[in-house]
């Protein structure tokens, strides 16, 4: 899919605010790709498309999870956790996106996971730090990602903040979110392979 087609697709489907967020995530991911020597075309496309399924009907999302044998634990969660995995399936099946890195970046953009590819990392971080985000503490993550060359530490800090927030509200934490937190914990002495 070409970038213009992706923009048209998302513009038509999403409310204006969410569309503008998608453009900012793509722009941010391209900036990060410049710093970390990532693939700008891939992160741009994944950034534009990543929230395409954000407001899909929950019933149709559960159907996709079941029809495509996705992790059955997804069925215990709402659209916050489902929209990434569902979007990746739709982009592959209905829009012919075959690139595995783009599909993984879309799939895992909310939770992250252990051992992300560079494209996944860039989209995951861009979603959190795009200039429209005003989450308390986001400046620290921007500094890690833009100025310190510390992409993996940024990932850990994002996961940590997300998990602390969820727990403080008694919201269940999805397995991949925890796996991401543990994998990118730089204080843990285990040897990590990337
Ligand atoms: O779609 P966006 O709003 O741009 O951002 P996102 O896809 O990162 O979604 C963020 C939401 O997802 C936020 O409300 C926290 C929630 N979230 C992230 N990890 C988990 C989670 N919610 C649950 N229940 N469990 C998780 O592990
Ligand atoms: Fe999202
Ligand atoms: Fe997003």
Pocket test for ligand 1, best of 18, 51, 110, 155 (most atoms within 8 A of CB): 110
For the stretch 16-72, pLDDT in tens is 999 999 999 999 999 999 999 999 999 999 999 999 999 999 999 999 999 999 999
- The pLDDT of residue 113 is 98
Do residues 56 and 86 lie in contact, with contact meaning Cβ atoms separated by under 8 Å? yes
Pull the structure tokens for residue 60. 């149709």
Span from the CA of 81 to the centroid of ligand 1 (angstroms)? 6
Q: pLDDT tier at 193 (50, 70, 90 boundaries)?
A: low
Pocket test for ligand 1, best of 77, 129, 162 (most atoms within 8 A of CB): 162
> What does the alpha-carbon distance between residue 100 and residue 97 come to, in Å, rounded to a whole number?
8
Is 77 near ligand 1, meaning CB less than 6 Å away?
yes
For the stretch 91-131, pLDDT in tens is 999 999 999 999 999 999 999 999 999 999 999 999 999 99
Domain layout of the chain by residue ranges: 3-193
Is 52 near ligand 1, meaning CB less than 6 Å away?
no
Helical H segments across the chain, by residue range: 3-13, 16-36, 40-49, 58-67, 79-93, 100-107, 118-129, 138-142, 151-168, 175-183
Q: What is the DSSP letter of 187?
A: T
Question: Which top CATH class is 3-193?
Answer: mainly alpha
Which of 69, 20, 82 has the alpha carbon at shortest distance from 48?
Answer: 20
- The pLDDT of residue 188 is 79
Ligand 1 atom at minimum distance from 165 CA: 15
Q: What is the pTM of this model?
A: 0.97
Residue identifier of the C-alpha nearest atom 3 of ligand 1: 80
Mean pLDDT over the full length of the chain: 97
- The pLDDT of residue 192 is 67
- The pLDDT of residue 190 is 67
């Amino acid at each position: 899919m070409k970038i213009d087609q992706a923009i048209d697709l998302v513009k038509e489907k999403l409310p204006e605010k969410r569309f503008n967020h998608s453009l900012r995530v793509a722009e941010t991911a391209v900036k990060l790709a410049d710093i970390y020597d990532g693939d700008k075309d891939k992160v741009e496309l994944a950034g534009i498309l990543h929230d395409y399924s954000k407001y899909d009907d929950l019933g149709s999302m559960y159907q996709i999870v079941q029809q495509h044998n996705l992790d059955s634990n997804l069925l215990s969660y709402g659209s916050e956790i489902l929209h990434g995995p569902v979007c990746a399936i739709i982009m592959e099946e209905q829009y012919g996106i075959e690139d595995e890195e783009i599909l993984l970046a879309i799939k895992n953009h909310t939770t992250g996971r252990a051992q992300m590819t560079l494209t996944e990392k860039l989209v995951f971080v861009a979603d959190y730090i795009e200039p429209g985000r005003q989450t308390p503490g986001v400046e620290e993550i921007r500094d890690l990602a833009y100025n310190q060359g510390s992409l993996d530490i940024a990932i850990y800090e994002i996961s940590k903040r997300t998990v602390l927030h969820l727990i403080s509200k008694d919201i269940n934490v999805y397995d991949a979110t925890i796996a991401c937190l543990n994998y990118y914990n730089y204080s843990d002495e285990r040897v990590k392979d990337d």
